[in-house]
Amino acid sequence: MIYTYTEQEKMKVLETFMKDGKVKQVPSATKKKYILLKEVLKRFEHGVIYTETEVNSILMDIFSSADYVEQRRYLITFGFFKRSSDGRAYQLMGNEN
């Protein structure tokens, strides 16, 4: 699932939903969630295989404790991460953040 958006749309979403690198509120609109998570990808490195615990730790630093699990699922749904079949390893997909 890929959404296209302008730099202006991106800035509006980030200004509305983020403050000081933390998410104030998770948008309900899927496209806005996509834009927000694209920004969150900057916290991860390509070529690194993360454990679920490591992914959770990074996401918990950005999202409230109730939201990070759902956002981890969206990272998979949007195709930003691939997950091992046993669910223990995660790796950033693609070449861009």
DSSP 48: P
Question: 23, 36 in Cβ contact below 8 A?
Answer: yes
pLDDT digits (tens, 9 = 90+) for 2-43: 899 999 999 999 999 999 999 999 999 999 999 999 999 999
pTM above 0.75, yes or no: yes
Residues 40-65 have pLDDT tens digits of 999 999 999 999 999 999 999 999 76
Q: 97 with 42: CB under 8 angstroms?
A: yes
CATH class for the domain made up of 7-91: mainly alpha
Rounded distance, CA 59 to CA 68, Å?
6
